[in-house]
Chain A
Amino acid sequence: MLILTIYIVIFISAYVLVTMIGKHRHHQIHGFTERKTVTFGDESTVTPNRSASVISVVSLFLIWGAFTGSKLTPIHMPGPFIGDTSFTYTAENAQKQTDEGRVYVRVFKVGTEADKPELPEQTDVGFVRDDSAKVGAWRSVLIKPQRNDEGGKDKSYRVIMVDGQVISPKKKVEVADGVVSMTPKGSLSFTPSKGLQMEPIWLPAPEAVMERLIEIASQGYQNVTLADNIGWSLYRVLIGFLLGSLVGIPLGYAMGLNNWFRGWFDPIVEFMRPIPPLALIPLVIIWFGIWETGKISLLFLAALWIMTIAARAGVSGVNITKVHAAYSLGASKLQLMIHVIIPNSLPEIFTGARVAMGVCWGTVVAAELVAAEKGAGKMIIAASKFQQTDIVIMGIILIGIIGYGIDILMRLAEKYLVPWKGKS
């Protein structure tokens, strides 16, 4: 909730700020678009505001850093309490006498060594003895004050107040640097204040992820290098996609050109199309096992229907006058296929290929989550089992970047190979 609020505040204030800077700068009208008076509703005048994009990415990193206590960001949310603290408690013994004691707690960073704090010399002569405990940040510790108190083993002994506030089982009391709650059995549980930062096990700081990336890129993870992991995922996607295209494109053409093929495969394609490839994982594992055959079969199926439908749409998208023109110029059926139908369907096929590559990339990661020896998905699922959240986050970022990269490459290839797209 807090993060969302901060995010919205940044969004609005950045907008106001950028707009104000834009107004103050001497602004000249350059393009034709800027001369348009109707802009709301005219999609062609909506271009991404680049300063918004930059601020958006930077603010995401700032929020990430601020909530993880990163060294890279100037502003931090208050972190967890670290250091020595104490609180008092009041106990009542069997004789209805009360006495006050103090609990000394040392809060340390998880992963570092710490001893329990030493107790000061006791001057009080009551039945209550002071206690000491240690606890890691973001954790809690169970304190049994009755253990060293005189008469603490009596049934009617109980702690009645903490820091002067009444406490009873299942109730909580706020103390200086944390919260004390009472268990149903009457022991105390101390949780030091957590602050607003996330624990690294939930969300590591950006630099920790970066360090992991460098470490794993150079040394690998569980004896598999990063390049190997990602290479294997890409290899599977490529093989699955190529096999899917090899079968799907000719099938799509046949469905676009022949009644029998159209009739025969229409129900199959229309049935298979809405089934998400992930839903096929269990069946594919049963049929083909969990290793390469299974994964490549799954990716093949993921790409197959998309490519079939793209090729079919490419054929049906051919303008009939082009077909008529080709026949009138003396083309045979084969020549029509090679010189008109195939080139005319290429834009559709490229669109399909972009979708298929995206789906395959998503599917391969999911399939590797289920079972794999190597692969991007395998790396993050293995890391998650050891609660190595930094590796998980690093993996997710890499998967995102690679998926985006694949799409950019496909778009470049499309621009180069089918420059006539959308220009008929």
Chain B
Amino acid sequence: MTIHLASQPSSLLIDNISMNFDLPDGQTVEALKNVSIEIKEGEIMSVLGPSGCGKTTLLNIIAGFLAPTEGSVVLNGEHVTEPGPERGMVFQRGALFEWMSVRKNIGFGPAMKNTPRHQINERVDHLLETVGLQDFGEKAVYELSGGMQQRVALARCLANDPDVILMDEPLGALDALTREKMQGLVLELWKETGKTVILITHSVEEALLLGERLLVLAPRPGRIHKEYQLPFADMGVDADLRVVRKTPEFCQKRDEILAMIWEMEEEIMGRKE
């Protein structure tokens, strides 16, 4: 299974971003404070943190849905000011268009660029096969299961051939079994396409499995707490994810990060009381 999509080398720079907003009661929330990250081309990075640490805000800023109070996002030398097709998004759920068939959903991006119909069809056929939905092209999206819908969302994102794929808890709404399968698919697609991927997740295991690099954010103000370079994503490309999960290194890292997040959560709770 190979994908031949033309992809330009890309570099993504998150330059000293801060994001403040005012609450109705006059308080100011520092959702993010002085966050700087440089993401290499073809890197898969997962972002983890307790709730309220600003990880979704960060992703929305990279996607161009929010403008940061300070700092900027630079992709391929250009400042990000609004959403664009070079930054593909995969949402948790509810982002597919129910009024379109699976095919139309996947072909949406190319169709917006007025790509000739036969080219769109070719690309959609290919992607349907890639995500294992070759028999479901003509179905309505609401006829598919949650896992299948996320496959469509992945395929739709890939159809546009973005430089960076931003994933906002893409597997968060799936059951454990489907989630495991989809984790494998995400790794596979990453390896085959060589895309830069930023993935936000709640699950420590998922963050470890899918991140070459793992960013742990701390809340109030949202900031980078710790950064890891991890071998598991590369291991997972060739090996069974279940095997990777059982390695001592994996277990040790998982416990370390879980403890860290617990500590942060307790600190928040303590501060509230």
- The interface residues of chain A, by DSSP majority, are classed as helix
Give the CA-CA distance A349 to B87 in the complex, in Å.
33
CB neighbours (8 Å) of A328 from chain B are 63, 83-85, 87-89
By beta carbon, the residue of chain A nearest B108 is: A329
Contact A326 B108 (CB under 8 A): yes
By beta carbon, the residue of chain B nearest A342 is: B99
Contact B65 A324 (CB under 8 A): yes
By beta carbon, the residue of chain A nearest B83 is: A327
With an 8 A cutoff between CB atoms, is A346 at the interface? yes
Known: A329-B108, A330-B112. A322 touches B84 (CB 8 A): no
With an 8 A cutoff between CB atoms, is B196 at the interface? no
With an 8 A cutoff between CB atoms, is A389 at the interface? no
Nearest CB on A from B106, distance (A): 10
Give the CA-CA distance A253 to B68 in the complex, in Å.
30
With an 8 A cutoff between CB atoms, is B140 at the interface? yes
By beta carbon, the residue of chain A nearest B153 is: A325
Contact B99 A343 (CB under 8 A): yes
With an 8 A cutoff between CB atoms, is A153 at the interface? no
- A322-357: which residues lie under 8 A (CB-CB) from chain B? 322, 324-332, 335, 339-340, 343-344, 346
Give the CA-CA distance A324 to B142 in the complex, in Å.
19
With an 8 A cutoff between CB atoms, is A385 at the interface? no
Nearest CB on B from A332, distance (A): 7
Contact B140 A330 (CB under 8 A): no
Give the CA-CA distance A335 to B112 in the complex, in Å.
7
Contact B142 A423 (CB under 8 A): yes
CB neighbours (8 Å) of B95 from chain A are 319, 321-322, 324-325
Give the CA-CA distance A22 to B142 in the complex, in Å.
39
Known: A330-B112, A335-B112. A325 touches B140 (CB 8 A): no
Name the residue among B82, B85, B99, B108 with the largest chain A CB count within 10 angstroms: B99
With an 8 A cutoff between CB atoms, is B113 at the interface? yes
Interface size of B as a range: 20 to 34
Contact B160 A329 (CB under 8 A): yes
With an 8 A cutoff between CB atoms, is B103 at the interface? no
Give the CA-CA distance A329 to B63 in the complex, in Å.
11
By beta carbon, the residue of chain B nearest A328 is: B89
Give the CA-CA distance A344 to B98 in the complex, in Å.
8
Q: Which of A332, A335, A340, A419 contacts B97 (CB 8 A)?
A: A340
Nearest CB on B from A341, distance (A): 11
With an 8 A cutoff between CB atoms, is A49 at the interface? no
Give the CA-CA distance A332 to B112 in the complex, in Å.
8
By beta carbon, the residue of chain A nearest B92 is: A321
Contact A329 B85 (CB under 8 A): yes
- B62-120: which residues lie under 8 A (CB-CB) from chain A? 63, 65, 82-85, 87-89, 91, 93-99, 108-109, 112-113
Give the CA-CA distance A340 to B89 in the complex, in Å.
16
With an 8 A cutoff between CB atoms, is B156 at the interface? yes
CB neighbours (8 Å) of B97 from chain A are 322, 326, 339-340, 343-344
Name the residue among A328, A418, A424 with the largest chain B CB count within 10 angstroms: A328
Give the CA-CA distance A326 to B65 in the complex, in Å.
12
CB neighbours (8 Å) of B82 from chain A are 327
Nearest CB on A from B176, distance (A): 24
**Contacts from B to A (Cβ < 8 Å):** 63, 65, 82-85, 87-89, 91, 93-99, 108-109, 112-113, 140, 142, 156-157, 160
A-B contact pairs, 25 of them (CB 8 A): A319-B95, A321-B93, A321-B94, A322-B95, A324-B63, A324-B89, A324-B91, A325-B89, A325-B95, A326-B97, A327-B84, A328-B63, A328-B85, A328-B87, A329-B109, A329-B157, A330-B112, A331-B108, A332-B112, A339-B112, A343-B99, A344-B99, A346-B99, A423-B98, A423-B140
**Contacts from A to B (Cβ < 8 Å):** 319, 321-322, 324-332, 335, 339-340, 343-344, 346, 418-420, 423-424
Known: A322-B95, A324-B91, A343-B97. 15 other contacts (CB 8 A): A319-B95, A324-B95, A325-B89, A325-B91, A327-B82, A328-B63, A328-B85, A328-B88, A329-B112, A330-B109, A331-B108, A418-B99, A420-B98, A420-B140, A424-B142
